[in-house]
Amino acid sequence: MADTQLTKKDFASDAEVKWCPGCGDFAIMNAVRSGMVAAGKPRDEVAIVSGIGCSSRFPYYMETYGFHTIHGRAAAIASGLKVANPKLDVWVISGDGDSTAIGGNHFMHVVRRNMNLNYVLINNKIYGLTKGQYSPTSEMGQISKSSPYGVIDYPMTPAKVAISLGGTFVARGIDKKMKLNEEICVRGAMHNGLSFMEIFANCVIYNDGAHDKLVNKEDGADYHIILKHGEKMIFGATSQYCLVQDGFGIKAVRIDKADEADILVHDEKNAEMAAILAGMRPDNGLPIAFGILYADDRKKTYNDMVYEQVDAVKEKRGRSIDDIMQSGHTWTV
């Protein structure tokens, strides 16, 4: 079988998938496989690194090299892996607990360094593997086993964090929107730099329906917008809303009340706008933004710069280890 003819099915391992029936992770795995097909690397040049959590079982189900590591640290491990062998197509699969709580530090720094990794954060706003405690992305007031009277932590918005750290590819999807997720994963896989892909997922057992408001058949479309580069920001079940500038921010207005020239057009290279879009929430009267919020590959990647520096030092100094060992004040006995 020629490598170029790989299909999504070729990326499935023999291992039995042990996620709960109906788990959002299935759909996301499907999208990731599309991304891998698009990237065009043979399976033995793909490595997946995961931390701990339901989503972190991911590598076992993929016919690639896989490393199921420790809680929160996948980004740091993947960084070493990528620097050691930049030819590999490296994916980090992580959850909201893994990436925003115990591994928050590594998530921040891997984005900041612009390591050329594909970073998927599956956000179900709950700890599933430990059977239902709230996470840093859980909503205020959310009832969970460790918040029986409601969460009193303000939630964090990972995509906004990623943009604030100079992330070069920031996208958001949701398990129910299979085609959108595929687009995100394909674009992310092709992006040269850290591709941060936050995908909302439903935990059928511990946080069922957490995202229903956004995707229900009746009025879900009123609460989210799918951004497309160069297209007007229009949303709603009947495309009845649009986004317009409002001082330094933006607001949602009925399209029939807006001047067409005022309707914002999505520019995926506008980081300031992306930060605002990433922070939109229905409870602020704004739709959740899906799609590619920001993408710009003009920034060099860390892994490229490592070897540019290596080459420059080799060129400039070009010593052997013997040279270095024999340098400084030496004397012969």
Partner 1 sequence: MAENAKLTSAEQIVIKFTGDSGDGMQLIGNQLTALAALDGNDVNSLPDYPAEIRAPAGTVAGISGFQMCLGDHKIYTAGDAPDVLVAFNPAALKHSSKFVKAGGMIITNSDSFTEKSMEKVGYTSNPLEDHSLNGYDVKAIPMFTLVREALAEMELPIAAKDRCKNFFTMGVLCWLFNKDKQLVLDFIQEKFGPKAKKPLLKVAQANTLAFKAGLNYGETAIMFQERYDLGAAQIEKGLYRNITGNDAAALAIAAAGEKAGLQSFIGSYPITPATDLLHYASEMKDVNLVTMQMEDEIAGICSAVGAACAGDLAFTTTSGPGLALKTEAAGMALILEVPLVIVNVQRGGPCTGLPTKTEQSDLLQAMFGRNGDSYMPIIAANSPADCFDATYQAAKIALKYRTPVIVLTDGYIGQGSCPWKVPKMAELEDLRPYVNFWVPEAHPGEKYVSYKRDPETLARDWAIPGTKGCQHRIGTLEKDINGAVSHDPMVHQQMTEFRKAKVDNLAKVLPDVEVNGKTSNKVLVISWGGTYGAVKGAVDRMIDDGKPVSGINLRWVWPFPANLGEVISQFDKVLVPELNMGQLSLLLRAKFLVDVESLSKVQGDPFREYEIIDKVNEMLGE
Question: If binding is defined by CB under 8 A, does position 87 make contact with partner 1?
Answer: yes
Among 65, 178, 250, 279, binds partner 1 (CB under 8 A): 65
Query: Are β-strands 288-295 and 169-174 bridged in parallel, bridged antiparallel, or unpaired?
Result: antiparallel
Question: If binding is defined by CB under 8 A, does position 15 make contact with partner 1?
Answer: yes
Region near partner 1 per CB under 8 A, out of 181-189, 210-218, 252-260, 302-310? 302-310
Residue 215, C-beta contacts closer than 8 angstroms, at least 6 positions apart: 174, 176, 177, 224
Question: If binding is defined by CB under 8 A, does position 138 make contact with partner 1?
Answer: no
CA atoms within 13 A on the CB side of 92: 35
Question: If binding is defined by CB under 8 A, does position 67 make contact with partner 1?
Answer: yes
Q: Which is nearer to partner 1, 251 or 319 (CB)?
A: 319
How many Å apart are CA 255 and CA 175, to the nearest integer?
Answer: 28
Integer-rounded Cα radius of gyration of the chain: 22
Decide if 142 contacts 150 (C-beta within 8 A).
Answer: yes
Rounded to 5 degrees, what angle do the CA atoms 57, 5, 40 make?
60
* Per-residue contact flags (x/-) with partner 1 for residues 101 to 130, judged by CB under 8 A: ----xx-xx---------------------
Question: If binding is defined by CB under 8 A, does position 324 make contact with partner 1?
Answer: yes
Question: If binding is defined by CB under 8 A, does position 329 make contact with partner 1?
Answer: yes
Q: How many residues bind partner 1 (CB under 8 A)?
A: 58
Question: If binding is defined by CB under 8 A, does position 78 make contact with partner 1?
Answer: yes
Among 8, 12, 13, 253, binds partner 1 (CB under 8 A): 13
Q: Is 134 helix (H, G, I), strand (E, B) or coil?
A: coil
DSSP states along 70-133? -TT-HHHHHHHHHHH-TTSEEEEEEEHIIIIIITHHHHHHHHHHT-S-EEEEEE-SSBTTTTSB
Region near partner 1 per CB under 8 A, out of 58-66, 181-189, 253-261, 290-298? 58-66
Q: Which is nearer to partner 1, 39 or 47 (CB)?
A: 47
Distance, CA of 113 to chain centre: 15
Q: Which is nearer to partner 1, 85 or 240 (CB)?
A: 85
Question: If binding is defined by CB under 8 A, does position 33 make contact with partner 1?
Answer: no
Residue 313 tokens read as: 């030092």
Region near partner 1 per CB under 8 A, out of 45-53, 198-206, 211-219, 249-257? 45-53
Q: Which is nearer to partner 1, 45 or 139 (CB)?
A: 45
Residue 257 amino acid letter: K
- Return the bridge partners of 265, or none: 232
In the complex, minimum distance from the CB of residue 133 to partner 1, in angstroms, rounded to a whole number: 20
How many Å apart are CA 14 and CA 81, to the nearest integer?
Answer: 25
Q: Which is nearer to partner 1, 285 or 328 (CB)?
A: 328
Binding site for partner 1 (CB under 8 A): 13, 15, 43-47, 49, 59-60, 62-70, 73, 76-85, 87-88, 105-106, 108-109, 306, 309-310, 313-314, 316-322, 324-333
